Amino acid sequence: MSKCAVCTTKKPTLECGICHSAICKSCTDFVDESTFRYAPQIPNKLQASSTYCLNCYTTDVRPEIEKYENLLAEAKEIRVYDITQTKETRLFKRLEPVIEVKACVDVPEATIKLAFITASLGFNCMIDMKLKTIKIRDGSYQTSEVNGSAIPTHLDETKVMRDRSFSDPN
């Protein structure tokens, strides 16, 4: 009979997703798939399982979660210009290919997913953002999904007009 790799006393019922050692439920760290909700892809190491021993969690899983959280914080700071704001963005360079997201639940989720991809590519602004809501009908049940696209670009903060109110010099 095998013992838990962490506490060595209880009967193990789970297996670590990385080192495949036997672990009990009280010694297991669980990673839900909603942890990487806005990432376009879960890191390769973490795709196989959602249960990890303490050692694998601290050495392999926790750094990936911190990297994701740092990118998410950067994504929340990205400047977003909609397709209707062409007057503000007409001088921005559109050199990068268009990024797209599909099958999002709502508009804020599609926006943050686009911003997350933009931040992961190393850009600080996305322009020409288009969001389209599509109705999906399945018999009498109706739902909607949002598809979106944007162009990532670099924006020099010193060149952005911060105050849009016009002051009278007289």
Q: For a pLDDT cut of 90, what percent of the chain falls above it?
A: 62
What is the rounded distance in angstroms from the CA atom of residue 126 to the CA atom of residue 84?
A: 13
In this prediction, residue 3 has a pLDDT band, given cuts at 50, 70 and 90, of confident
Domains and CATH numbers, the chain: 14-75 (no CATH), 79-159 (3.30.110.70)
Q: Is the pLDDT of residue 69 over 90?
A: yes
SS (H, E, C) the chain: CCCCCCCCCCCCCEECCCCCCEECHHHCEECCHHHHCCCCCCCHHHCCCCEECHHHHHHHHHHHHHHHHHHHHHHHCCEEEECCCHHHHCCCCCCCCCEEEEEECCHHHHHHHHHHHHHHCCCCEEEEEEEEEEEEEECCEEEEEEEEEEEEECCCHHHCCCCCCCCCCC
Q: Is the pLDDT of residue 6 over 80?
A: yes
- Partners of 152 in beta bridges: 126
Q: Is the pLDDT of residue 169 over 90?
A: no
As a whole number, mean pLDDT of residues 120-144 equals: 93
Burial (Cβ within 10 Å: 0-12, 13-18, ≥19) of residue 147: middle
According to the model, what pLDDT value does residue 44 have? 86
Query: How confident is the prediction for the chain on average, in pLDDT?
Result: 89
As a whole number, mean pLDDT of residues 148-160 equals: 87
The neighbour count for residue 63, using CB atoms within 10 Å, is 11
Residues near 104 by beta carbon (within 8 Å), at least 6 away in sequence? 110, 113, 145, 146, 147, 148
Q: Is the pLDDT of residue 167 over 80?
A: no
> What predicted TM-score, i.e. pTM, was given to this entire model?
0.85
In this prediction, residue 170 has a pLDDT band, given cuts at 50, 70 and 90, of very low
pLDDT in tens, 22-64: 999 888 999 988 899 999 888 888 887 889 999 999 999 999 9
According to the model, what pLDDT value does residue 151 have? 97
More confident residue, 1 or 83: 83
Q: How many CA atoms lie within 13 A of 45 on its CB side?
A: 14
Q: Is the pLDDT of residue 70 over 80?
A: yes
